[in-house]
Structure 1
Amino acid sequence: MEIYKRDAVISPIILSVIGMSGFLILPLIIGAAANSLHFDEQQLGWMASIIMFAAALSSIFAIVWIRKINWQLAGYVALSVMCFSYVAAFFIHHQIFFVLLIASAAFGGGTLYSIALTVLSDSKHTDRNFGFSIAAQVSFQVLSLMILPMFIQQHGINSLIVLFLILVIVGLTLVRWIPIGGVKSIKNEPSKNNVTDVKHVLSAILTPKIIFALLGCFMFFMNVGVIWTYIERMGNNEGFSAENIGLALSIGVFFGIPGALLASWVGERFDCIRSLALGAIVTVISVYMLLESMTFVDYIIALALYNLAWNFSLTFQYAVVNKVDTSGVVVAAAPAFHATGAAAGPVIAVLYVTSSSFVAVNTLAICSVIISFLFFAIATYLDK
């Protein structure tokens, strides 16, 4: 199939949304698990970490196989894993088994997301298509966070499972429209030139400036992971209704769009470190606003600033990684460090968070953002 055909672009864009759907509405999953399955704050932290770590593993494995395996076959396998996991989760509400099933679905979703992004990376207008993918994901987030809370209140966590199953069915109808392989196929290339070869990736990563850049990615998403896990619980702790929390989250997520557009406008006007410093300052302010005794207006403003800074900063993080990397393979490894950092955040938070206080979440997020900025600054300095 010709990789530049319209169907081979629209399909991976939709598949990218399906693959990321679990993470995109993770706060709703956390809130539903707390109410329907009676998870406490520590258990919710472990649940989020396991789910995100499963997605991180799929990203790591994808580096090895993504250019070697039939993409359509891999897509069907990923969606089948998701389908089986969600069907089982619909009937099995035992806490441990439920978490494992959702983690299994996250692994399949991460695999599907890797396939979708790789297809888009081979398309004719890569940057534009990546932008369409992000826009589709944000649109899904905004609509879901606004609409789903009322269904969750009426039907519990199974309402989310039904949504995921519908998405999986849609995905199964779209896989046939993606290519079976890429224009950058490495089947006939020698191993030493294979950009997905594990040894090649490791040799590229194991230099000080790249290690610090990737650790910057890891630390920033440690902040993202812990905030995204507990943000719904923070609102709930202040007495906000599920509908109002969903509304606030959807407004906040929407501000990710101007954040990304602002990064595009800033572009070369400021260097990456100044831009990352600005993003870090806004992130710290937004997290500070999420302290206890906040008003609902504070909650909305904090979420808007946080999502704006998150999407603004992400652009320049990739720019720093790309700048210090001369091999051309490290940018592909950055999402794995993002996902692993996101999984690590809640693991640390569960040691300190309680049902009545989320100060540990705010503290960990602020420290992670500051350390992340320092790592990026060191990486840039070492590259001079």
Structure 2
Amino acid sequence: MTKIDSFRGRAVLMLSHVAGMVDMVALPLWVGTLVQHYKFDPQQAGGLVTLFLMAVALTSVTLAPRFDRLPRRWMATLGYVLTAVAFFAASKQVAFPILAVLHFVAGVGVGCGLTFTHGVIGRSSNPHRLFALVQFAVGVFGILFFGAVPKIIAAHGGHALFLVFFVLMVIAVVASALFFPPGEARSVDRQAHHSTSKIPGAAWLAIVTVVLLTLNQAMMFSYVERIGVDHGFGQERANMVLIAVGFANLFPAVIAAALQKKVSPRTVGMAAPILQGALALTITQSQNFGVYAAATSVYVFVMIFSHVFLFGLIARLDPSGRAVASTPAMVMAGSAIGPFLSGTLVVAFGYSAIGYAVAAIGLVALLCVSRIKLVASPADDPMKHAVLL
């Protein structure tokens, strides 16, 4: 039996997390490919990705409360099998209605796989550190992805993107079927107690904050590649910036792990929406390539860094794993709305509207975090828990 905190357990969870969070890396290329190669307008392209992300969120909401009662290995495995089949089928289609159905089906599979992956991570001995590790794996994958996939698409066409997704899901299927850890509890008695208790109000504020931060992330990141091209920087330089994003994303999870006991999750949560707003306004309005490239390169950094702290906080507040099992719903609820909303704003008002929308949503996230007060926990000292102000 594979244990969560073993090398094999961490490796499988990393693969499962990377496969499930492929949108975090691929979103700009995904939308760009649908616009450039499939000739969809920004609203249609954003709508397809929104269907995928919406399905992830709905599936996670449905399955997370049942995390303790379902076979985790096989649920994760079957989820990625479904996604692999859907993406392979998508590589053979060009019609919008069929692609819409296949995007939704793929999202159902990812929602299933990610729900059980994140729930098991939440039951590890140190959820903050393990989540930082799997987020680091996403950064490594981002470098490989943007170093190779744009060239593959240029050589073979837009359908190649879905074949790349298919291969990634097949790898996740094999790894999960063989070695996915069962997710033993950190403390059986404590887990049983928390499984019957309500999720604390402070945790709900942290959950809403994650949703809003990921909404901002998806709104902006969906169109950074198109913004670069349409601002006259050229496709090649826009792709170079995306590669730089991948390198930049290697560091936030590592730094977050190192600062676990030195920085308050509340401080991180308050800084994140402010930085998102400032960077989004810079990206959408700057006509200078250097400024655009610098702001784009660190934009995802903010989301990854802050999410590690918020994930660790939510996992400590609800040791049963139910709350963190719904992480896909938190992330994808925001991400599902983002591409469609930003596409609609672009069609109606232009790219600058995305920047203003991100800033406004960031103010709401800031309000949520400001209502959380951290207090010492007698059970887990020196860790901290959160309560409402």
Q: Tell me if TM exceeds 0.5.
A: yes
Mapped partners of 1:192, 1:131: distance in 2: 26
**Secondary structure of 1:91's match?**
coil
- How much has 1:108 moved relative to structure 2? 1.0
Mapped partners of 1:298, 1:383: distance in 2: 39
Q: In structure 2, what residue type is equivalent to 1:183? A: E
**Secondary structure of 2:185's match?**
coil
- How much has 1:147 moved relative to structure 2? 1.9
Q: Map Cα deviations across residues 235-258 of structure 1 (whole Å, 9 max, x no partner).
A: 221233333222212212332333
Q: In structure 2, what residue type is equivalent to 1:106? A: G
Q: Structure 1 residues 317, 120: CA separation in 2 closer, same or farther (over 3 Å shift)?
A: closer
Mapped partners of 2:133, 2:262: distance in 1: 24
Q: In structure 2, what residue type is equivalent to 1:373? A: L
Q: Structure 1 residues 274, 41: CA separation in 2 closer, same or farther (over 3 Å shift)?
A: same
Mapped partners of 1:274, 1:346: distance in 2: 28
Mapped partners of 1:161, 1:369: distance in 2: 32
Q: Structure 1 residues 40, 128: CA separation in 2 closer, same or farther (over 3 Å shift)?
A: same
Unpaired stretches in structure 1, ≥5 consecutive residues: none
Q: In structure 2, what residue type is equivalent to 1:44? A: A
Q: Does 1:376 align with 2:369?
A: yes
Of residues 244, 255, 264, the one that matches 1:251 is 244
Q: Does 1:3 align with 2:8?
A: no
Mapped partners of 1:212, 1:22: distance in 2: 24
Matches within 5 A, 1:176-325: 176-179=177-180, 181-184=182-185, 193=193, 195=195, 203-204=198-199, 207=201, 209-318=202-311, 321=314
| Mapped contact 2:194–2:320 kept (Cα < 8 A) | no
Match of 2:377 in 1: none
Q: Does 1:157 align with 2:182?
A: no
- How much has 1:327 moved relative to structure 2? 8.5
Q: Map Cα deviations across residues 255-295 of structure 1 (whole Å, 9 max, x no partner).
A: 23333344445445454444334333332221121124522
Q: Does 1:117 align with 2:122?
A: no
- How much has 1:304 moved relative to structure 2? 2.4
Q: TM-score, normalised by structure 2?
A: 0.84
Q: Structure 1 residues 102, 370: CA separation in 2 closer, same or farther (over 3 Å shift)?
A: same
Q: In structure 1, what residue type is equivalent to 2:199? A: A
Match of 1:17 in 2: 18
Match of 2:378 in 1: none
Match of 1:137 in 2: 138
Q: Map Cα deviations across residues 141-160 of structure 1 (whole Å, 9 max, x no partner).
A: 12112221122122222111
Mapped partners of 2:270, 2:335: distance in 1: 20
- How much has 1:371 moved relative to structure 2? 1.6
| Mapped contact 1:253–1:307 kept (Cα < 8 A) | no
**Secondary structure of 2:91's match?**
helix
- How much has 1:172 moved relative to structure 2? 3.2
Q: Structure 1 residues 66, 160: CA separation in 2 closer, same or farther (over 3 Å shift)?
A: same
- How much has 1:14 moved relative to structure 2? 1.6
Q: Structure 1 residues 273, 72: CA separation in 2 closer, same or farther (over 3 Å shift)?
A: closer
Q: TM-score, normalised by structure 1?
A: 0.85
Q: Structure 1 residues 226, 307: CA separation in 2 closer, same or farther (over 3 Å shift)?
A: same
Mapped partners of 2:256, 2:367: distance in 1: 20
Q: In structure 2, what residue type is equivalent to 1:301? A: A
Bigger drift between 154-163 and 252-261 goes to: 252-261
Q: Map Cα deviations across residues 322-372 of structure 1 (whole Å, 9 max, x no partner).
A: 687798754444552232122223343344322882112111111112221
Q: In structure 1, what residue type is equivalent to 2:288? A: T
Mapped partners of 2:174, 2:256: distance in 1: 35
Match of 2:353 in 1: 360
Mapped partners of 1:123, 1:76: distance in 2: 20
What percent identity do the matched residue pairs reach? 20
Mapped partners of 2:112, 2:322: distance in 1: 19
Bigger drift between 132-141 and 318-327 goes to: 318-327
Mapped partners of 1:8, 1:268: distance in 2: 24
Matches within 5 A, 1:27-38: 27-38=28-39
Q: Map Cα deviations across residues 181-203 of structure 1 (whole Å, 9 max, x no partner).
A: 332399x99x98572x7xx5xx4
**Secondary structure of 1:67's match?**
helix
Bigger drift between 3-12 and 291-300 goes to: 3-12
**Secondary structure of 2:102's match?**
helix
- How much has 1:40 moved relative to structure 2? 0.6
Match of 1:67 in 2: 68
Mapped partners of 2:199, 2:184: distance in 1: 23
Bigger drift between 255-264 and 98-107 goes to: 255-264
Match of 2:86 in 1: 85
Mapped partners of 2:118, 2:313: distance in 1: 20
Bigger drift between 149-158 and 252-261 goes to: 252-261
Bigger drift between 359-368 and 239-248 goes to: 239-248
Match of 2:43 in 1: 42
- How much has 1:89 moved relative to structure 2? 0.8
| Mapped contact 1:221–1:342 kept (Cα < 8 A) | yes
| Mapped contact 1:29–1:157 kept (Cα < 8 A) | no
Q: In structure 1, what residue type is equivalent to 2:345? A: Y
Q: In structure 1, what residue type is equivalent to 2:279? A: S
Unpaired stretches in structure 2, ≥5 consecutive residues: 375-386
Q: Map Cα deviations across residues 163-193 of structure 1 (whole Å, 9 max, x no partner).
A: 122223323322332257332399x99x985
